[in-house]
Amino acid sequence: VGLSPSYAVLLAAMFAVGLTTIVPQLIVPYAAQLSRPEEQGRTIGDVMSGLL
pTM tops 0.75? no
27-32 mean pLDDT: 94
Q: Is residue 1 part of a domain?
A: no
Q: Is residue 52 part of a domain?
A: yes
pLDDT score, position 52: 85
Q: How far apart are CA 37 and CA 50, in angstroms?
A: 20
Q: Which residue, among 35, 23, 7, 37, has the nearest Cα to 46 in the 3D structure?
A: 35
Q: Is residue 45 part of a domain?
A: yes
**pLDDT at residue 2 tops 80:** no
Give the chain's mean pLDDT. 92
Residue 3 in 3-state DSSP? coil
Q: How far apart are CA 33 and CA 11, in angstroms?
A: 33
Q: How far apart are CA 31 and CA 39, in angstroms?
A: 11
pLDDT score, position 47: 95
Q: What φ, ψ does residue 7 adopt, rounded to 5°?
A: -65, -35
Domain count along the chain: 1
Range of the domain at 33: 22-52
